[in-house]
Amino acid sequence: MAYSTVSDLTRWIDSDELVRLCSTDPSATIASADVLEVAGEAIENADSQIDSYLLGRWPGLRSYDPVPDEINRLSAIIAVYQLYLRRRAVSSDWRTSYQDSLERLAAASRGELDLGLDDSGSTAAEPEEIYRTDAEESDRKYSSEKLDKF
């Protein structure tokens, strides 16, 4: 399953711009086969790049449904960047967005960015209950002074 879709790309660029980046046919639309093929290839390449950063840490990531929001966003940004790169029309803004995305992926692979996933690639479960205790400070077995000795 892909991390993003063609409709996700249109959240980042206008659909007419997406068509222009994917096809040279002036009558092409967002539903044209050539547009869908090129956009799909860009998404596939973006997802492969994401996998190269994250699958080592989260091997089950590809099978997760729905795709976590941050991964969906990164996939779409990287795919749009690759479409601009295909036309050799990458602006400095898109280059910066792409580099920021790679930095976020690197941070996630090091465990410095929380994607809301546990180690198996599943979304971290929300606690169903909040546990409270009636313990008091005087119940402590180890005081801060005792711990400082170690």
Rounded distance between C-alpha atoms, residue 100 and residue 77, angstroms:
10
In the prediction, which pLDDT does 40 show?
96
Rounded distance between C-alpha atoms, residue 89 and residue 18, angstroms:
13
**Secondary structure letter of residue 124 according to DSSP:** P
In the prediction, which pLDDT does 125 show?
47
pLDDT tens for 27-36 read 999 999 999 9
Phi first, then psi: what are they for 124, rounded to 5°?
-60, 130
- Tell me what the mean pLDDT of segment 52-67 comes to: 88
The stretches of the chain forming alpha helices (DSSP H) are 6-9, 15-22, 33-54, 69-86, 92-109, 144-148
Three-class secondary structure of residue 18 per DSSP: helix
pLDDT tens for 100-122 read 999 999 999 998 988 877 655 55
Structure tokens at 3: 């991390």
* Farthest-apart Cα atoms in the chain, separation: 77
Amino acid at 20: R
Tell whether pTM > 0.85: no
Three-class secondary structure of residue 39 per DSSP: helix
